Amino acid sequence: MLLQGKKAIITGGTRGIGFSVAEVFLKNGASVALFGSRQETVDKALAQLKAENPAWEVIGMAPDLTDYAALDAAFSEVENRFGRIDILVNNAGISAREPLYEYTPEAFQRIMDLNVTAVFNGCRAAAIRMKAQGGGSIINIASESAIRPLSRVAGYGVAKAAVVNFTKY
C-alpha cells in the first residue's frame, strides 16, 4: 500500500475531487481527515466512506479555512488524533460564473479568501508541523483556468493563478 501509515488532511474532501482523493488515500493505507464547508456534508461523506470500508480510519470536521486560528485548532485536533500530519491536500475552492461587470467586490473577496487565503493558512499550519516532525507533503489543487482563463470566472482564474504561483515557493 502506497500510503500505509500516512496521516492526511484533505480540504474540500466531502465531494468531487477531494472525496475521490480521500478514497484513493484510504484504499492505499492512509488515515484521512476530511475538512468540509458544513458539518452535514462532512457527516454524509464520512458515512459513505465508512459504508465502503468500516475499517478505514477517517474523521471529519468543518473548520473555517479562512480563519487561521480556527484552522490551526483543527490541525491540532487531527494531530492529536493521528499523532502527526504527513500530507495536506488543499483542494477546497469556490467559483462564481458571472461577467466581470456583475461581480461584486464581496463575491470577489470571498473567492480570494477561500481559494487563496485558505491555501496559505493550510500550508502554514501544515508546514509548521511538518518542519517539526522532519518532513511531509503539501499538494495544492489549482485549475487549468489559472493558465488559460475561462470566460465568466475571472475571480476563480485569478485565485487559481495565485495558488499556482504560491505553490512554486
Contact 167, 91 (CB under 8 A): no
CA distance 162 to 123: 14
Amino acid (1-letter code) at residue 62: A
| Catalytic residue of the set 101, 103, 156, 169 | 156
Known catalytic residue at 156: yes
CA 68 to chain centre: 14
What Rg, from alpha-carbon coordinates, does the chain have?
A: 16
Sheet of 58-61: strands edge to edge? 58-61, 31-35, 7-11, 87-90, 137-140
Contact 14, 23 (CB under 8 A): no
CA distance 121 to 109: 16
Catalytically annotated residues: 156
